[in-house]
């Protein structure tokens, strides 16, 4: 299975490729990008998998959980994969919600030129944001290396694998 992993602290880690020796799949990840919202902070990271999955992971931190379950951009609904969420049991702590928005290859290429504006909708609110073009273009710059990495790892993983999202404890915006 492909894992969209988010490290324990959102540092400015450079774009890179991670391979999973068990599944034979690889992921190209971009840098983290912070988007400030009126209700919290959203951290995104663009990715491409060796199985031709394109998109960006999301970690939304706010005072209250909004239950994100949909992603939209200019009237188009995108596939949103809901990950975990956690609200620490302390006053002033943030709730964290993890997920991923899946784009088509052409949408990802378009975002690398124009950026990507979106809204994440939840049961208790919405978060809007704009991702800069370089978030996507830096990942496209790794695509040739990604294809070579997955080929040398014994072939591509089956195309019917599902994308998984890291647990909230692994996705702590710092």
**Any bridge partners for residue 118, and if so which?**
129
Q: Which residue has the higher pLDDT, 20 or 100?
A: 100
Output DSSP code: residue 158: P
Instruction: Give the C-alpha separation, 40 to 139, whole Å.
Output: 26
CA angle 172, 142, 59 (to 5 degrees): 20
The CATH number given to whatever domain includes residue 23 is: 2.60.40.10
Q: What's the number of domains the chain is made of?
A: 1
Q: Which domain holds residue 98?
A: 16-146
Q: Does a structural domain hold residue 113?
A: yes
Classify residue 100 as exposed, middle or buried by CB count within 10 Å of its CB (0-12, 13-18, 19+).
buried
pTM score: 0.79
Q: Does a structural domain hold residue 31?
A: yes
Instruction: Give the C-alpha separation, 41 to 141, whole Å.
Output: 27
Whose tokens are 């009237």? That residue is 75
| Lowest model confidence (mean pLDDT) among 16-25, 54-63, 110-119, 150-159 | 150-159
Q: Does a structural domain hold residue 152?
A: no
Instruction: Give the C-alpha separation, 24 to 35, whole Å.
Output: 33
Instruction: Give the contacts of 127 (CB within 8 A, at least 6 positions apart).
Output: 37, 39, 40, 42, 60, 66, 68, 119, 120
Q: Does a structural domain hold residue 158?
A: no
Q: Does a structural domain hold residue 118?
A: yes
Instruction: Give the C-alpha separation, 155 to 25, whole Å.
Output: 8
Task: For 64-117, write each residue's pLDDT tens digit.
Answer: 788 899 999 999 999 999 987 776 666 667 789 999 999 999 999 999 999 999
Q: What is the average per-residue pLDDT within 32-40?
A: 86
pLDDT of residue 38: 74
Q: What is the average per-residue pLDDT within 44-59?
A: 94
């Amino acid at each position: 299975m492909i894992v969209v992993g988010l490290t324990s602290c959102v540092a400015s880690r450079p774009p890179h490729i991670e391979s999973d020796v068990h599944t034979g799949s690889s992921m190209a990840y971009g840098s983290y990008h912070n988007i400030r919202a009126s209700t919290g902070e959203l951290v995104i990271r663009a990715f491409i998998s060796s199985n031709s999955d394109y998109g960006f992971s999301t970690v939304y931190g706010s005072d209250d959980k909004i239950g994100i379950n949909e992603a939209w951009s200019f009237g188009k609904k995108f596939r949103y994969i809901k990950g975990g969420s956690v609200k620490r049991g302390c006053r002033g702590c943030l709730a964290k919600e993890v997920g991923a928005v899946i784009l088509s290859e052409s949408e990802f290429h378009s975002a690398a030129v124009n950026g990507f504006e979106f809204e994440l909708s939840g049961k208790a609110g919405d978060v809007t944001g704009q991702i800069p073009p370089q978030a996507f273009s830096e990942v496209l710059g790794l695509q040739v290396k990604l294809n070579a990495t997955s080929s040398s790892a014994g072939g591509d993983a089956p195309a019917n694998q599902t994308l998984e999202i890291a647990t909230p404890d692994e996705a702590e915006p710092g």
